[in-house]
Amino acid sequence: MSHGSPINSGPTQVAEEILELHGAEFDGATRGRGWTNATWLADEFVVRVAREPGPSDLLREKRLATLLPAEVGYPAIIDAGVRHRHEWVLTRRTVGENLEDVWPSLDHAARARAVEQMWERALHVHRVETAAAVPHARARSPFFPQKAEEVTTSLVRLVKAGELTTSQAAGLGRVLDRFWAVLPDAPRALNHGDLCLPNTLWHDGEVVALLDFEFAVVAATAIDLNEIVKIAFAPGASDERLPLRDVVTRIAGSALTTAGGPDVLLGYSIMLETWLLETELAAGDDADEAGLTASAAMLRAFAEGDGGYFAPLLADLR
């Protein structure tokens, strides 16, 4: 998820001190991506620092990382701690580029391979022993409410904001009713929780790592599957989406049942798009207009009750 905010002197000071303690020059480091954390990349190291002082997700993620199989590609952790009240983690830098950065340069075959390999690495995440993961995963994801009333309240706000009609909110409510009804029977596993191109590392034509597990959560794996499905079936240029539908359909065909089924997939997708739309609306002039438009379109389509943008996929899997 890419939502920027200014970096105060705290994280910068922490990053500079940590890199220098480990013999790296801060002046030679480059700023990396980051939403809740600030990231700097040096030649050998990557340092991530919580943007705000106080409790954060980084030390929890450090503990979770010890459970991840090597196949996930999570970078080796060198050191971690709290400095000037900011949590921080220092990892060995893995050779590669952010997949979102290189995505425009990839042909359809390379993109399909990247999507397939993202999911293959996510499957290794899902195989982590659930009982061991629970103490170190998030108790709840900010993207996915745990109670129906929370989603209903968000939909009411979107109606007041003029993004949904009352009828559309009611249609989404009916889809979510099916979600809540079947969710208790869905198998639970560790999810990456934010499985997207910016959290994937690409090198020499291959996915080499999944990064940033701060939103990892134990839940139905439809959370991760939804991100893969969106790559091919969300709104967007058809010349980019359509060539990826075969590989995504194969992935969904093999994973949807254990991920909780269609109703769980649709419910999690509605909740994520609701969160994204509210977040962009709150950003005002800094909003990502393309993201705002896409989330609103997905919600309005889901409100029809026929699977919305995911309807072609679900039809193929019946």
In a domain, 4, yes or no: no
Same domain? 62 vs 120: no
Question: Do residues 113 and 33 share a domain?
Answer: no
Q: How many CA atoms lie within 13 A of 228 on its CB side?
A: 34
Do 68 and 116 belong together in one domain? no
The reply to whether 199 and 290 lie within a common domain is: yes
Domain that holds residue 235: 97-317
Whether 274 and 126 map to the same domain: the answer is yes
Q: Which of 92, 122, 143 is the last residue of a domain?
A: 92
The domain boundary, picked from 62, 92, 122, lies at: 92
Question: What are the residues facing 91 on neighbouring strands?
Answer: 46, 77
What is the edge-to-edge ordering of all strands in the sheet holding 86-92?
30-31, 37-41, 45-50, 86-92, 77-83
* 1 part of a folded domain: no
Whether residues 65 and 103 share a domain: the answer is no
Same domain for 115 and 159, yes or no, is yes
Residue 219 belongs to some domain of the structure: yes
CATH assignment at residue 18: 3.30.200.20
183 and 297 part of one domain:
yes
132 in the same domain as 33? no
CATH number for the domain that contains residue 123: 3.90.1200.10
Backbone angles phi, psi at 200, to 5 degrees: -130, 140
Residue 154: HSE in the Cβ half-sphere, 13 Å Cα cutoff: 26
In a domain, 2, yes or no: no
What distance in Å separates the CA atoms of residue 191 and residue 225, rounded to the nearest whole number?
Answer: 9
Tokens in use for 110?
């390379």
Residue 3 lies in a domain: no
pLDDT 10s digit of each residue in the chain, 318 long?
444 444 456 999 999 999 999 999 999 899 987 778 999 999 999 999 999 999 889 999 999 999 999 999 999 999 999 999 999 999 999 999 999 999 999 999 999 999 999 999 999 999 999 999 999 999 999 999 999 999 999 999 999 999 999 999 999 999 999 999 999 999 999 999 999 999 999 999 999 999 999 999 999 999 999 999 999 999 998 999 999 999 999 999 999 999 999 999 999 999 999 999 999 999 999 989 999 999 999 999 999 999 999 999 999 998
Whether residues 59 and 118 share a domain: the answer is: no
The pLDDT tens digits of the residues spanning 265-305 come to 999 999 999 999 999 999 999 989 999 999 999 999 999 99
Tally of structural domains, the chain: 2
